[in-house]
Structure 1
Amino acid sequence: MQENNYIIIMAGGVGSRFWPMSTEEKPKQFLDVLGIGKSLLQQTVDRFKTVSPAENILIVTSAKYKQLVAEQCPELLESNILLEPCMRNTAPCIAYAAYKIKGLNPDANIVVAPSDHLITNEAEFIRIIENGLEFTANNDALLTLGIQPHRSETGYGYIQADSVISNHLSVNSKNSNIGSEGESYETMPNEEQTDNRQPITENPLNVAAFKEKPNLQTAKEYLAAGNYYWNSGIFLWSLKSILSAFESYVPEVAAIFQKGEEFYNTEKEQAFIDEMFPTCTNISIDYAVMEKADNIFVQPADFGWSDLGTWGSLWEKRERCEQGNTVVGEQVHLFEADNCIVNMPKDKNVVIQGLQDYIVVEDNDVLLICKKEEEQRIKEFRAAVMNS
């Protein structure tokens, strides 16, 4: 039942790799990085409105972003904007929201998702989410979505399923592997082609292990094996299952939020959180729960997903011209330029000649011109500007 479906959207990150567009005052989840008139957060909220009533959508964010969330998502209840007084990673974030939901609906079935991911095939995404919620409503299971890898990617963590997909349950070929343009698999120009990829099973698989971001050789081995998936950071579970997991595997975190059960959904909630949240361990949900529990499942999926962690990943997902350039800005003129990503104020006249594989971004009184292959240095560049 939809009234039992709750969404927890995590929106507290600072998005420093999208500098200079993303700043600590207004990080990337609040920006229209695609140039479509909606921020990543607004797109995420809209995506879930078909899964859950708007009053069941909670956003966990930093206290300093309260006004931004309220302005961008006026359809959400003010009481559903959960304010962290400090950063303590994803496990305390999720625990706070879960214990608050317990006071609203003990039969809740929950999706946890980041606020700043891109999904190009929303119909397939919703189908996967609805199937997953049915699974978690009827099983004591902690489910994560694993993305079918399209290349040997070193920027993502991986999830290892118990065995190669073809050894598992039958596949519903009507719905599996349908990309945003109706293709069997999403591919990008110059991406590594992978003919050995297995069909995507309609059934969740047991998780054998979570893997850290690999080096290139290991990533190639994962791709060849066929039973490794990109870790999307999207989770589904019943309220009862996740609370049981917190109490079993991180009892010190559970104990903190159990103390607030009389305060949640009252005017005393924020004071309690301001006092107790900083005492939480700084730990991710992966380390706190997912790598310890024995009821972990992965649902393989392919719905045009990207975590948009870098300008380069945004270049891959944006529409590009024949020369491979993608541009935001109404007065940008390119000559002999190839495979660049350009993001300029709409009324600024810009001429770019002779650049190949560059990031060119102007925002917040900063102009960044950087090789795409050097974008891991953006934090270094940002620090130099901030300290000058």
Structure 2
Amino acid sequence: MIAVIMAGGKGTRFWPRSTVAKPKQFLTLASEEATMLQQTYARFRSCLPEDNVYVAVSENYLPIVKEQLPELGENRIIVEPEQRDTAPCIALTASFFMKLERDEVLVTAPSDQYIPDTEDLMEALREAEKAARQDGVVVTLGIVPTRAETGYGYIEAKETVDSVLRIKEVKAFIEKPTKEKAEKLIEMPNMYWNSGIFIWKPSTIARYMLEFQPQMWSIFEQEGEEFRQSYARLQKLSIDYALVEKLKRLYTIPIEFIWDDVGTWTSLERIFSTDGDGNLRIGNIYPFATRNTIIYSEQQQVVVIGIEDLIIVSTEEGLLICRKSDEQNVKHAIAALTADQEGRQA
């Protein structure tokens, strides 16, 4: 089995700590010692041979990957000319291994997930590998939900197909829900969070790309500058929209070990301890009469008085202040800010 770690995201919901120049996968978010990418790489390397762990990354982040993973040879880095979301990245990955005539089962996994139990993860992946060896079969890991989460997509599964392997056929994908809908979803049987971890063979990816995204797949016959230009023109498209939601031979394995997408500031509250008033303090922070607030400061001493349920983040890049309930809008706010700044420069 081969693991391909996808390290091309922007992590804008972690602004102002995560920036375009250095997104969250290259930051020490879930650990004080290692970045998210380094943790993910170490997780797979502890269970797989060195030659079976790869990183897929856009060209602009190649220097950071080489700096953070000096042990990773260039032959194990799959380089995207530009960031075009997960569908082009996974298509490029499949093409890469097809050209090497390697059709082993691939695990395509994000670089920014918190999974402290490596043994349980690998046990689930080995089960998935057995199914994914079959032509046309795709397996994903479904996370048993622990709360009404609005930041994740959901997977609805049918009853168990194989009681030994725990594998279930996927019935439907559900987009990120409202709070009210999420509360209903977690009460339903066979409902899981979509982990974004997929297990499949390169030939299986190629088969479905040819069927559902033939125009995208056709550019991988090109080479050199022609390919670079064609890749840069590809529509940004997630693998869920491009392929996965269209598949018939799609299965999930429910998992209950600790897992977190580490996609927003509040996710850190599930990893690190808070003080007696429920505050998460990172940096030189002094809260007074303050409850359930996340406060992060890289340099300045910060005094916070009489507030509740806020996120306050201060870095050299900028200052963020928002309600916890509004944190999903950080991404949209930064997109609007970027567009405004670009408009002024034009």
Q: Considering the TM-score relative to the shorter chain, is it more than 0.5?
A: yes
CA offsets 1:153-191 (integer angstroms, 9 cap, x no match) = 22211111024x6xx6547xxxxxxxxxxxxxxxxxxxx
- 1:368 is aligned to 320
Matched, 1:343 2:269: no
Task: Give deviations 1:342-386, integer Å, cap 9, x for gaps.
Answer: 2222x6433333232221212124233332123234346545597
Q: Verify: 1:120 aligned to 2:83, yes or no.
A: no
Deviation at 1:40, TM superposition (A): 0.8
**Matched residues, number:** 340
1:130-175 CA-partner distances (Å, limit 9, x unpaired)? 2222332356410011110112222211111024x6xx6547xxxx
Corresponding position of 1:282: 236
Which of 52, 58, 61 is residue 62 of structure 1 equivalent to? 58
The alignment's TM-score, normalised by the length of structure 2, stands at: 0.89
Q: 1-side partners of 2:212 and 2:7: how far apart?
A: 25
Which residue in the other structure is 2:178 paired with? 215
- Tell me if 1:240 matches 2:193: no
2:162–2:168 CA contact under 8 A, matched in 1: no
Could you say if the C-alpha distance between residues 384 and 286 of structure 1 is closer, same or farther in structure 2, counting changes exceeding 3 Å? Answer: closer
Q: Which residue of 2 aligns with 1:47?
A: 43
Determine helix, strand or coil for the equivalent of 2:133.
helix
Shift of 1:210: 1.0
Q: Give 1:146-165 correspondences, 5 Å limit.
A: 146-163=142-159
Post-superposition CA distance 1:301-323 (Å, at most 9, x none): 12211212211222233222332
**Is contact 1:58–1:97 with CA below 8 Å preserved after alignment?**
no
Relative distance call for 1:34 and 1:92 in structure 2 (3 A) is same
Q: Deviation string for 1:258-304 (max 9, x for gaps)?
A: x14xx6xxxx6xx4642331243432211222122211001111221
**Equivalent position to 1:13, from 5, 9, 12:** 9
Q: Which residue of 2 aligns with 1:314?
A: 268
Mapping for residues 325-344 of structure 1, pairs under 5 Å? 325-329=279-283, 331-344=284-297
RMSD: 2.4
Q: In the alignment, what sits opposite 2:192?
A: 229
Change (3 A) 1:7 1:281: same
Unaligned runs of 5+ in 1: 172-201
- Indicate the percent of aligned positions where both proteins have the same amino acid: 37
Matched, 1:355 2:307: yes
Counterpart-to-counterpart distance in 2, 1:50 and 1:138: 26
TM-score by length of 1: 0.80
Q: Residue 31 of structure 1 contacts residue 40 of structure 1 at CA under 8 Å; is this kept in 2?
A: yes
Matched to 2:47, the amino acid is V
* Residue 206 (structure 1) aligned with residue 158 (structure 2): no
User: 8 Å contact 1:51–1:130 — kept in the other structure?
Assistant: no
Judge conservation of contact 1:161–1:298 (CA < 8 Å) in 2: yes
